[in-house]
């Protein structure tokens, strides 16, 4: 096996030695296949199980496509680079070897989610490097990049990718992405990548034309035809993709998007096999896998007998966000309705036990047995901001004192916190949904976006921004003038102080924190009180979200942080008592 492990990949073009490359594609719907390589057309050899392969002389950068019997030319679905867009030739690309980097322990993680195209004015991999010093100085320890897999068109969120191995060239080339990761590591920052294994986008997905068995006939996800993960070649496609990003580029972890739509009856199921193979292959590095999953399940995140991660490290905790959002804004439509009956109680249960729903209404399972670091909490992220009709940020929808208290609760809890880009200085520009395919799909996106919000009471009379208009995309770019303003600097300084407290007072207590660490003391009449038994200390939260002053339940130890006046409306306090 070479340094990248790529010679064990089933899919794609990989070096075969002495200037030769092996090209391989699973095309069970076809009886023959031809490789078009640098102007030559070469018949491929049929293998068992629907595979076709060929070893041929090639050079770095050579263009290639697969020719189907009907004469159509398709890109390699495992292409590492494209000559242009998703419909054109792929490019022969040598494996990469990431520079050595041991990574960081999971308990040190403070995630910062960003979209490359709107994070900087230039919107490129290289431009993002210029912001890393600022983030590291704030106390951020990890950036999480929204999907970069190539999708149709030149702008979008990234969740409509069709070439999962190919970094989108609208942000730069693979060398530029490597430079970003290396620069982050030089500053002690981990880098996570958001990957989408639950569907393919609508523009440029050619798999159905030659590999119909890749999909489940008659079953769909919210975004298109469901994928058949019971097929071995399909499983290898995604497992190899995870290994590719982690090994060749040196990403520290992956966020697996909407895994509740990865339905697999195999034993073991794909999500377990993927995690186990990642840890087996990369056991010498600290690698972290996180999931987004609205089922509120725990079996993917169970720990070993010694508390070690054996599969997935953490779960995005939408319950915490939804409850905190209702507590902050009073909104009650859509998925917020389930949390509007008792938002304070739901927030309290999330902080103490993980999920708010642990079987109630048929959703979820008990989660208190997991360590607090198994949950990734956030007040904002790309979905919860961008899926609003106008893309408003929380700063525009709630009282500043209440937001300050909630931010302290987020950053000083023993859960893993996530911030959305701009949140660190109180960004007010929106983050809305945007896309640009450049064809009839644009009209379908416009229509769908307008219809989505037509029935929402909160948006009656509002004009939903045109997701295809370039101005909608440009309006989402972070505002450097806001960041450098007196208000923005003061906002960032408060956040820096919180993250410094977290790093020095909370994080040292997390590595040994076990399940059943949290106890909900009170969540009524506006009073929120939670205690956590951590490794050698008792962390205590006391907050008041009532309209008037309240007496707080008794707490012990040193007050390490306060917002507002103790017991006053929209106040919070954190205490730490060492256990001897």
- Looking at residue 35, its pLDDT comes to 98
- Looking at residue 451, its pLDDT comes to 80
Select which of 257, 273, 338, 423 is catalytic.
257
| 292 classed as catalytic | yes
Coil vs helix vs strand at 344: helix
What are the pLDDT digits (tens) for 103-147?
999 999 999 999 999 999 999 999 999 999 999 999 999 999 999
Question: Which pair of structure tokens corresponds to residue 197?
Answer: 């294994």
Question: Which pair of structure tokens corresponds to residue 98?
Answer: 């990431």
Select which of 292, 319, 331, 424 is catalytic.
292
Tell me if domain 6-91 and domain 518-578 are identical in fold: yes
Per-state percent for the chain, helix, strand, coil, to nearest 5: 30, 25, 45
Phi, psi of 463 (to 5 degrees): -95, 115
Q: Which of 76, 86, 71 is nearest to 23 (CA)?
A: 76
Q: Decide if pLDDT at 167 tops 80.
A: yes
Looking at domain 6-91, its CATH superfamily turns out to be Immunoglobulins (2.60.40.10)
Taking only Cα atoms into account, the Rg of the chain, rounded to an integer number of angstroms, comes to 24
Phi, psi of 289 (to 5 degrees): -115, 130
Question: Which pair of structure tokens corresponds to residue 515?
Answer: 């399940």
31, exposed or middle or buried, with CB in 10 Å at 0-12, 13-18, 19+? exposed
- What's the full length of the chain, in residues? 580
pLDDT bracket for residue 4 (50, 70, 90): very low
Q: What is the mean pLDDT of residues 194-199?
A: 98
- Looking at residue 8, its pLDDT comes to 78
Q: Are 545 and 344 in contact (CB under 8 A)?
A: yes
How many C-beta atoms surround the C-beta of residue 187 within 10 A?
14
More confident residue, 516 or 462: 516
| 194 classed as catalytic | no
What are the pLDDT digits (tens) for 43-71?
999 999 999 999 999 999 999 999 999 99
Sign for the pseudo-dihedral over CA of 439, 445, 448, 449: negative
Question: Which pair of structure tokens corresponds to residue 378?
Answer: 């956030």
- Looking at residue 305, its pLDDT comes to 87
Q: What is the mean pLDDT of residues 172-179?
A: 98
Q: Where are the domains of the chain?
A: 6-91, 518-578
Q: Decide if pLDDT at 329 tops 60.
A: yes
Q: Are 180 and 195 in contact (CB under 8 A)?
A: no
Fold (topology level) of 518-578: Immunoglobulin-like (2.60.40)
- Looking at residue 462, its pLDDT comes to 65
* CA distances from residue 21 to 33, 62, 92, 94 in whole angstroms, order as listed: 17, 11, 9, 10
What are the pLDDT digits (tens) for 418-431?
999 999 999 999 99
How many C-beta atoms surround the C-beta of residue 355 within 10 A?
27
């Amino acid at each position: 096996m070479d340094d990248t492990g790529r010679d064990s990949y089933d899919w794609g073009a990989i070096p075969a030695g002495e200037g030769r490359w092996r090209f391989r594609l699973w095309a069970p719907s076809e009886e023959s296949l031809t490789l078009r390589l640098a102007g030559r057309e070469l018949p491929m050899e049929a293998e068992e199980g629907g595979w076709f392969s060929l070893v041929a002389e090639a050079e770095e950068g050579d263009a290639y496509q697969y020719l189907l019997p009907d004469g159509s030319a398709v890109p390699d679905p495992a292409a590492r680079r494209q000559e242009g867009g998703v419909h054109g030739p792929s490019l022969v690309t040598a494996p990469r070897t990431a520079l050595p980097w041991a990574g960081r322990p999971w308990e040190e993680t403070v995630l910062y989610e960003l979209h490359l195209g709107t994070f900087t004015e230039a919107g490129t991999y290289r431009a993002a490097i210029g912001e890393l010093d600022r983030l590291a100085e704030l106390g951020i320890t990890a950036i999480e990049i929204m999907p970069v897999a190539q999708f149709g068109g030149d702008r979008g969120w990234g969740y409509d990718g069709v070439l999962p191995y190919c970094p989108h060239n609208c942000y730069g080339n693979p060398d530029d992405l490597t430079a970003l990761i290396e620069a982050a590591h030089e500053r002690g920052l981990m880098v996570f990548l958001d990957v989408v294994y639950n569907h393919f986008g609508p523009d440029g997905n050619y798999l159905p034309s030659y590999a119909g068995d890749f999909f489940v006939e008659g079953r769909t996800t919210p975004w298109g035809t469901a994928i058949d993960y019971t097929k071995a070649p399909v499983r290898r496609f995604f497992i190899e993709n995870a290994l590719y990003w982690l090994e060749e580029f040196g990403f520290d972890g992956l966020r697996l998007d909407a895994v509740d739509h990865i339905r697999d009856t195999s034993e073991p199921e794909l999500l377990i096999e993927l995690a186990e193979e990642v840890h087996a292959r990369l056991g010498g590095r600290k690698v972290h896998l996180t999931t987004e999953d609205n089922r509120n399940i725990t079996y993917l995140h169970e720990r070993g007998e010694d508390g070690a991660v054996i599969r997935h490290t953490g779960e995005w905790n939408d319950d915490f966000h939804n409850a905190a959002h209702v507590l902050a804004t009073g909104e009650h439509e859509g998925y917020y309705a389930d949390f509007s009956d008792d938002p304070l109680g739901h927030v309290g249960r999330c902080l103490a036990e993980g999920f708010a729903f642990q079987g109630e209404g048929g959703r979820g399972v008990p989660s208190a047995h997991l360590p607090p670091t198994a949950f990734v909490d956030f007040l904002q992220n790309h979905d919860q901001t961008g899926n609003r009709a106008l893309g408003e940020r929380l700063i525009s929808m709630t009282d500043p004192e209440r937001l300050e208290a909630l931010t302290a609760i987020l950053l000083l809890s023993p859960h893993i916190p996530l911030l959305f880009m701009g949140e660190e200085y109180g960004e007010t520009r929106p983050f809305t949904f945007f896309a640009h395919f450049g064809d009839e799909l644009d009209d379908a996106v416009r229509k769908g976006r307008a219809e989505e919000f037509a029935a929402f009471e909160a948006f009656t009379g509002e004009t939903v921004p045109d997701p295809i208009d370039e101005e909608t995309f440009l309006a989402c770019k972070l505002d450097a003038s806001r960041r450098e303003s007196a208000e923005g600097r003061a906002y960032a300084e408060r956040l820096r102080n919180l993250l410094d407290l977290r790093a020095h007072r909370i994080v040292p207590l997390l590595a040994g924190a076990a399940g059943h660490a949290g106890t909900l003391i009170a969540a009524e009449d506006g009073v929120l009180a939670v205690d956590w038994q951590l490794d050698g200390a008792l962390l205590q939260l006391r907050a008041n979200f009532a309209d008037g002053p309240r007496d707080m339940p008794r707490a012990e130890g040193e007050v390490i942080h306060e917002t507002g006046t103790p017991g006053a409306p929209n106040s919070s306090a954190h205490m730490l008592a060492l256990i001897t």
